[in-house]
Amino acid sequence: MKFGILINEGPYQHQASDTAYNFVKAALDKGHEIFRIFFYHDGVNNGTRFTVPPQDDRNIQVRWSELAEKHGLDLVICIAAAQRRGIMDEDEAKRQGIDGNNIAPGFRISGLGQLIEAGIQADRLVVFGD
């Protein structure tokens, strides 16, 4: 089965990101395909490389980056939600006149069309968070 994943909540305020991560990992282990993982609303906060949790806590951003690298996952952050929360890639930072970027490895910024495409291409679109 081919899954599209939508994550609407931030990494440490809600269990949605942890649950989504575990779901994706289990689906991949069972041989399923993940078409795309789309981060929306506060979920875009999963994609900032400036997250530094305590040493004894899980680093959710690093988990996503490593899983994406290992399995070639498409991690997409909604551009509008990212801008509202100060998350930018190099191109967007230049366009906005900001002198740096903070997007984590393996993530990319794009629009809602990527979410629509995931819903069309996947057999199931699974939503995590409100």
Residues carrying an active site annotation: 78
Q: d(Cα 95, Cα 2) in Å, to the nearest integer?
A: 35
Retrieve residue 5's tokens. Answer: 């994943």
Distance CA 7, CA 18 (A): 10
Nearest to 102 by CA among 53, 63, 46, 54: 46
- Dihedral class, residue 86 (left if φ above 0, else alpha if ψ from -120 to 50, else beta): left
